[in-house]
Amino acid sequence: MILEIKNYIKISNSIDEILRSSPFKLKYIIEKSGISEPTFFRKMKEKKFLPEELLKIAEIIEPEKTFLQSLEEAEDDFKNGIYHNHEDVIKISEERFLKKYGNKMV
């Protein structure tokens, strides 16, 4: 646990450098993070992002890792019997569609 906390502090303290070396433009990261631009720059300057905000930023600047982690989680769910069969997925999709659009055809 100590190592994880030290890593978090290290990332938090160097977030401005991490963002500047990212292949993504800062404007794109700000837009995708959902944090207003003035707040984002203030937090970056003060190094005061919340852990959840740092996670969101990491997911934006490392999409391949986010995707691979999602696949691993899905595989774990499948191994643990947490999944829906095709018929259930169709039924859930129809229910969501009807809830959103009613009987209107889109």
Query: In angstroms, how far is the first alpha carbon of the chain from the final one?
Result: 51
Query: Are residues 54 and 91 located together in one domain of the fold?
Result: no
pTM of whole model > 0.85?
no
Is 2 in the same domain as 52?
yes
Per-residue pLDDT of the chain (106 residues), as tens digits, is 999 999 999 999 999 999 999 999 999 999 999 999 999 999 999 999 999 999 999 999 998 887 788 788 888 888 898 888 899 889 999 999 998 888 766 5
Identify whether residues 59 and 86 lie together within a single domain.
no
Residues 50 and 93 placed together within one structural domain of the fold? no
| φ, ψ of residue 94 in degrees (nearest 5) | -65, -40
Domain that holds residue 38: 1-66
**Residue 58 sits in the same domain as residue 79:** no
Q: Is 35 helix (H, G, I), strand (E, B) or coil?
A: coil
Whether residues 20 and 57 fall in one domain: yes
Q: Does 53 lie in the same domain as 12?
A: yes
| Residue owning tokens 């207003």 | 36
Q: Around Cβ 41, how many Cβ atoms within 10 Å?
A: 14
DSSP one-letter code for 85: -
Domain count, the chain: 2
